[in-house]
């Protein structure tokens, strides 16, 4: 009988961690639907980016107030969860505040006091975030793609964090009272600079009621964390975990550098070489043309692009900077990432149901992302520069444009004219090559 709480705790822990593992495996499987890319270069630069951009959140502080608030909530939340370690140990072994007997008491008191102060700061940060979203109504949080689930998701996570912090502080307040009453198992330990202000609200309660509050908040706190962990999979907050690998695999060549298709480059070179034999066998080691140019669905994208889609925080900084979006065009780089993730999830569910992907008559192009959006892009790279977690929406736009041009010859008329001119005249203008130097005779 006395071990029932321990057994229940182990069941809850196993279920929470187990379900989380199943979902992480699904994400990995879905990302692997993309094609492989070699990211074994620039290793030290990549690790430097992880430290600076992912851990140090250097791009967040470009906008200092939300940036600092984000760092506070993130760091605070992570550090407070060190407390979860003690909760897990206590839960498994049926102990209470075991770390206070292992660590020097001064250190333990200092840690608990720091967690409480951080909890208060996280609570304040979360309330400010909620206010910015719901009262101040910043434009980027109210764009079209943020209606419905994305909007609710952002709020749910804020409520989650508020509740977890309040539970943590209430648990400590009840614990203090029980320590003062000398209740059995409640060792005198911890320093409580914040929760001491909740204690007066518990003043006249009996020991049994205090134990019920302490145990109740303890259970709700740990169950809440397990639910939070599993909620991540369904939420944009997956970035808490994926930001790190995503930044590692982020672009390390200059942002403006587009990838060239070697097979096409070779073809162009051959076209320009008057001595080239168009019927000659390809040189040894020459790269063959891919079976399909560009991307019309998520399977045509790279694994890094798919990781990008899962990592997107839906913060809208990219869309805020996008000149196309700012001049009223339909394009939103954030929506490009959200659409890519939605389509990838749809394919994942299709695989779950059928054991393998059964064509569903849909694709990323047209069913999710329209041609109008794709051709509105100026390729300025502002979205890539603005993204705090090194996501590259432009690369997806360019791959989809490549598909339209090279597989469907479906570029807009203006572009088709320019490309035909380049092919015929070696320049985008409609003048014969022989007339190129006419300008010099004009005077
Ligand atoms: S590259 Fe395209 S999508 Fe990105 S900011 Fe510029 S115009 Fe917008
Ligand atoms: S792509 Fe980056 S900047 Fe844009 S919404 Fe996603 S995380 Fe934010």
> pTM (2 decimals)?
0.86
Question: Would you state the structure tokens that stand for residue 305, as one six-digit string?
Answer: 């692009």
Q: Check whether 276 has a pLDDT greater than 80.
A: no
| Ligand 2 atom 2 nearest Cα | 387
Report the alpha-carbon distance of residue 249 to residue 308 in Å, rounded: 9
Write down the pLDDT at residue 81: 72
Show the CA angle centred on residue 359, arms to residues 354 and 365, nearest 5°.
Answer: 130
Least reliable range by pLDDT among 18-27, 186-195, 272-281: 272-281
- Work out the average pLDDT over 277-287: 68
Report the alpha-carbon distance of residue 373 to residue 329 in Å, rounded: 8
Write down the pLDDT at residue 443: 61
Report the alpha-carbon distance of residue 115 to residue 107 in Å, rounded: 12
Between the CA of 323 and the centroid of ligand 1 the distance, in Å, is 7
For the chain, how far is it from start to end, CA to CA, in angstroms?
A: 104
Least reliable range by pLDDT among 65-69, 355-359, 371-375: 65-69
Write down the pLDDT at residue 307: 97
Least reliable range by pLDDT among 79-88, 95-104, 150-159, 405-414: 79-88
Least reliable range by pLDDT among 171-175, 272-276, 303-307: 272-276
Least reliable range by pLDDT among 195-209, 263-277, 379-393: 263-277
Most confident of 51-65, 108-122, 298-312: 298-312
Report the alpha-carbon distance of residue 335 to residue 189 in Å, rounded: 50
Place of tokens 């939070």: 228
Between the CA of 369 and the centroid of ligand 1 the distance, in Å, is 15
Q: Check whether 319 has a pLDDT greater than 90.
A: yes
- Using most ligand atoms within 8 A of CB, pick from 141, 250, 389, 390 the residue to mutate for ligand 2: 389
pLDDT tens, residue by residue, 185-232 = 888 888 999 999 999 999 889 999 999 999 999 999 999 989 988 998
Altogether, the residues listed in the chain come to a count of: 443
| CB 69 less than 6 A from any atom of ligand 2 | no
The pLDDT-based confidence of 320 (bands split at 50, 70, 90) is: very high
The pLDDT-based confidence of 391 (bands split at 50, 70, 90) is: very high
Write down the pLDDT at residue 285: 66
| CB 331 less than 6 A from any atom of ligand 1 | yes
Between the CA of 8 and the centroid of ligand 1 the distance, in Å, is 51
Write down the pLDDT at residue 414: 85
pLDDT tens, residue by residue, 43-54 = 999 999 999 999
Ligand 2 atom at minimal distance to the Cα of residue 239: 7
Between the CA of 241 and the centroid of ligand 2 the distance, in Å, is 15
Q: Check whether 287 has a pLDDT greater than 70.
A: no
Between the CA of 309 and the centroid of ligand 2 the distance, in Å, is 9
CB 189, CB 105: distance < 8 Å: yes
Write down the pLDDT at residue 250: 93
Taking the CB of residue 77, how many other CB atoms lie within 10 A of it? 19
Q: Check whether 64 has a pLDDT greater than 80.
A: yes
**Among the bound ligands, the one closest to the CA of 329:** 1
Ligand 2 atom at minimal distance to the Cα of residue 315: 8
Sign for the CA dihedral angle at 332, 337, 340, 342 comes to: negative
- Work out the average pLDDT over 119-131: 92
Q: Check whether 353 has a pLDDT greater than 80.
A: yes
Write down the pLDDT at residue 282: 67
- Work out the average pLDDT over 263-282: 73
Q: How far is CA 104 from CA 82, 101, 109, 185, 190, in A?
A: 17, 7, 9, 19, 11
**Among the bound ligands, the one closest to the CA of 392:** 2
Q: How far is CA 11 from CA 89, 92, 93, 186, in A?
A: 14, 10, 14, 25
Between the CA of 388 and the centroid of ligand 2 the distance, in Å, is 7
- Coil, strand or helix: which one is 369? strand
| CB 341 less than 6 A from any atom of ligand 2 | no
Write down the pLDDT at residue 422: 84
Chain-centre distance for alpha carbon 121: 24
Place of tokens 């394009």: 331
The mean pLDDT value of the chain amounts to 89
% of the chain with per-residue pLDDT over 70? 98
């Amino acid at each position: 009988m006395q071990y029932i709480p321990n057994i229940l705790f182990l069941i809850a822990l196993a279920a929470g961690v187990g379900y989380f593992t199943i979902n992480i495996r699904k994400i990995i499987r879905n990302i692997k639907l993309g094609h492989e890319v070699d990211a074994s270069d620039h290793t030290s630069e990549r690790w430097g980016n992880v430290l600076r951009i992912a851990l140090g959140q250097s791009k967040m502080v470009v906008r200092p107030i939300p940036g600092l608030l984000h760092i506070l909530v993130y760091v605070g939340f992570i550090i407070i969860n060190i407390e979860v370690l003690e909760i897990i140990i206590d839960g498994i072994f049926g102990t209470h505040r075991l770390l206070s007997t292992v660590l020097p008491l001064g250190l333990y008191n200092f840690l608990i006091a720091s967690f409480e102060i951080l909890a208060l700061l996280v609570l304040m940060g979360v309330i400010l975030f909620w206010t910015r979203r719901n009262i101040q109504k910043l434009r980027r949080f109210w764009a079209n793609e943020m209606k419905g689930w994305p909007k609710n998701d952002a709020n749910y996570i804020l409520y989650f964090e508020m509740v977890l912090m309040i539970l943590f502080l209430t648990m400590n307040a009840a614990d203090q009272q029980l320590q003062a009453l000398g209740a059995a198992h409640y060792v005198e330990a911890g320093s409580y600079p914040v929760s001491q202000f909740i204690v007066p609200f518990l003043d006249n309660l009996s020991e049994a009621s205090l134990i019920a509050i302490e145990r109740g908040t303890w259970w709700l706190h740990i169950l809440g964390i397990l639910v939070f962990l599993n909620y991540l999979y369904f939420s944009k907050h997956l970035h808490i975990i994926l930001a790190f690998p995503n930044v590692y695999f982020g672009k390390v060549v200059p942002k403006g550098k587009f990838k060239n298709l070697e097979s096409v480059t070779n073809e162009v070179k051959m076209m320009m070489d008057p001595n080239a034999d168009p019927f000659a066998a390809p040189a040894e080691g020459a790269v063959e043309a891919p079976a399909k140019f560009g991307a019309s669905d998520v399977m045509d994208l790279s694994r890094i692009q798919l990781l990008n889609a899962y990592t997107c925080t839906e913060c809208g900084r990219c869309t805020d900077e996008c000149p196309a979006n700012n001049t009223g065009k339909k394009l939103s780089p954030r929506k490009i990432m959200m659409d890519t993730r939605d389509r990838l999830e749809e394919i994942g569910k299709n695989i779950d149901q059928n054991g393998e992907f059964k064509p569903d008559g849909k694709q990323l192009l047209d069913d999710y992302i329209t041609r109008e959006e794709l051709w509105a892009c100026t390729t300025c790279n502002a979205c890539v520069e603005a993204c705090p977690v090194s996501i590259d929406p432009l690369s997806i736009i360019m791959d989809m444009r490549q598909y339209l041009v090279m597989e469907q010859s479906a570029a807009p008329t203006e572009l088709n004219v320019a490309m035909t001119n380049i092919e015929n005249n070696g320049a985008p203008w409609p003048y014969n090559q022989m007339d190129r130097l006419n300008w010099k005779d004009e005077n």
